[in-house]
Amino acid sequence: MVGFETADDAAVYRLDDDTAVLLTVDFFTPIVDDPYDFGRIAAANALSDIYAMGGRPLTAMNLLAFPCSLGPDVIAEVLRGGADVTRQAGAVVVGGHTIEDKEPKFGLSIMGVVHPDKVVRNVGALPGDVIIMTKALGTGVLGTALKRGLEQDATSREVIEGMARLNRAAGEAMVETGVHAGTDITGFGLLGHLHEMASGSGLAAEVAVDNIPLYGGALEYSAQGVRPGRTADVLAWLADFTDWGATTDAWRGVLADPQTSGGLLMAVAPNRADVLLDALEARGDAGLVIGFFRAGEPGAITVR
């Protein structure tokens, strides 16, 4: 049903008129010190692709690489964190694969289901559609600060819990409301994923920085150059299609910040925006209107 052309979040394989299977996989190196939190974040990040396409996760398979010197207790905590979050999603860990590696890595391969007529893709936005995002930005910046010893787990608890929080409520609200397009915000940053949506939809997009939610300290750290190494690559890529206007360098760093287990980014008709925001609130989640799609050069982004 879905090919490679538009970088959708998961593969979609139609079984019959009522059921399509969603398939995705994601894993990465530790971004926090606590192994249990690492497992939780990795699971939430992998599951996010299913929610971003309007699906319901069913099964998960662990992907684990670690040095034998790490110790079984540490590995057990990583797996326990992943299993706990998978269980919260209503899915089941059914197995996996482990190898020895010098650098620890963990993630999951997820299988979910969705009705073929309710698949949410990252294309299909219409001129005038409102752009709504959930979760705050800045996980890459805060994670870098944590690695450099500028932050402690205790003071970074908000961002850790944010990354470990499922996009389940946002995915359900998105399907209930009926959005035109959706995706999750991950390694290409907010503007990178917005560009994919706009380009695939044949539209341009405008965003207002004053409306974009940030984790505490993200802007300050960005101004100090505390950024993931990949941010520079994302900024170089964004330069070809982004009108930054008077946006500060600190804001540019945050808008290009590679996210881990970020929120959902959705395109919804203006007259349905409040319906979507109410559906999010009813599920204990929140969203903010950060801009809109308009006719223009496909993929072009203007920042105000």
262-300, pLDDT tens digit by residue?
999 999 999 999 999 999 999 999 999 999 999 999 999
179 — phi, psi (to 5°)?
A: -85, 165
Give the sheet arrangement for strand 20-28, strand by strand: 11-14, 20-28, 105-114, 56-66, 92-100
157-215, pLDDT tens digit by residue?
999 999 999 999 999 999 999 999 999 999 999 999 999 999 999 999 999 999 999 99
Q: How confident is the model at residue 4 (pLDDT cuts 50, 70, 90)?
A: low
Q: Is the pLDDT of residue 8 over 90?
A: no
Q: What is the pLDDT of residue 156?
A: 87
For residue 126, the surrounding DSSP H or E stretch is: none
Q: What is the pLDDT of residue 21?
A: 97
32-72, pLDDT tens digit by residue?
989 999 999 999 999 999 999 999 999 999 999 999 788 88
For 20, residues 6+ apart whose C-beta sits below 8 A from its C-beta are: 1, 12, 13, 14, 113, 114, 115, 116, 119
203-225, pLDDT tens digit by residue?
999 999 999 999 999 999 999 99
Q: Indicate the class that CATH gives domain 130-303.
A: alpha beta
Cβ–Cβ contacts within 10 Å for residue 68, how many?
A: 9
106-139, pLDDT tens digit by residue?
999 999 999 999 999 999 999 999 999 999 999 9
52 — phi, psi (to 5°)?
A: -65, -25
Q: Indicate the class that CATH gives domain 11-118.
A: alpha beta
Q: Name the residue ranges covered by the structural domains of the chain.
A: 11-118, 130-303
Global pTM reads: 0.93
Matching fold, domains 11-118 and 130-303: no
Q: What is the pLDDT of residue 151?
A: 80
What's the burial of 15, exposed, middle or buried (CB within 10 Å: 0-12/13-18/19+)? exposed
Q: What is the pLDDT of residue 233?
A: 96
Q: Is the pLDDT of residue 143 over 80?
A: yes
Residue 267, CA atoms < 13 Å, CB-side half-sphere = 30
